[in-house]
Amino acid sequence: MSGATARREELKELLMAARQCTRCAELAATRTSVVFGAGNADSELMFVGEAPGANEDLQGLPFVGAAGKLLEQLLGEIGLSRAEVFIANVLKCRPPGNRDPQSGEIENCRPYLVRQVELIEPRVICTLGNFATKLLRGDPAGITRVHGVPEVRTIGEHTARIYPLFHPAAALYTPSTLETLREDFARLPAVLALAQPPPAPPTEPTPEELAPAPPTPEAAGRSKAEAQQLELF
């Protein structure tokens, strides 16, 4: 099995595990679907949003509402389609009433996102909004301060450039935010053209890395929505 095939298989196993996840009791009880992420799992470019909303929860796919349409439009303006990139979220389940993700939920879900990054191996990760930016930069600085500036970060075992962007939902009704987001997007091809950041030197495992891995999937019962998501990889 080639490296790419093995990575893809592991990503499918991770999806199966996420679909069984009950780490956040409230989210597991209220979700319609686990929105694992979708797109090209071999892409050099990954987007990480905040959490699924009502439309995403119903369809089992990320960024399918108004913010997703804007994301698609901005991608189109730089000659990319959503099928060419991989799109995921900090949380894989919808917070009820679209409330903010809680810190415990972000911690519970983090191993899934870290493993997605390790398996997809993107060159550039665009973090959309505050939650993804703070998590993947490992720093509490807000998006207004850090947007549009690429920085090398190591996520799990993969080193990539983090490129923070305003969340498209924030740009929907604020023309000045949309203008800034569009300007940052216009520089994305140049960020993608930067040299691949060198892998981080090996370190001792941190206590977080020694935490239990996501649960393994149960063999039985793949749903239709799940099969649909798998086909998107």
By CB under 6 A, name the binding residues for ligand URA.
49-53, 56, 62-63, 67, 89, 169
Min CB(210)–ligand URA separation in Å: 30
Task: For ligand URA, give the closer residue by CB, 33 or 180.
Answer: 33
Cβ-based burial of 185 (10 A; exposed 0-12, middle 13-18, buried ≥19): buried
Query: Is 160 in contact with 124 (CB distance < 8 Å)?
Result: yes
Task: For ligand URA, give the closer residue by CB, 155 or 169.
Answer: 169
| Sign (positive or negative) of CA dihedral 160, 199, 193, 117 | negative
C-beta nearest to ligand URA: residue = 49
Min CB(65)–ligand URA separation in Å: 6
Q: How many residues would you count in the chain?
A: 233
Look at residue 155 and give its three-state secondary structure. Answer: strand
Min CB(9)–ligand URA separation in Å: 25
Task: For ligand URA, give the closer residue by CB, 45 or 169.
Answer: 169
Query: Is 15 in contact with 62 (CB distance < 8 Å)?
Result: no
Min CB(201)–ligand URA separation in Å: 33
Min CB(25)–ligand URA separation in Å: 22
Task: For ligand URA, give the closer residue by CB, 102 or 159.
Answer: 102
- Rounded to whole angstroms, the Cα distance separating 19 from 218 reads 10
Q: What is the DSSP string of 184-230?
A: HHHTHHHHHTSPPPPPPPP-PPPTTTTSPPPPPPPSS---HHHHHHH
Task: For ligand URA, give the closer residue by CB, 153 or 167.
Answer: 167
Query: 158-165 and 45-49 as β-strands: parallel, antiparallel, unpaired?
Result: unpaired
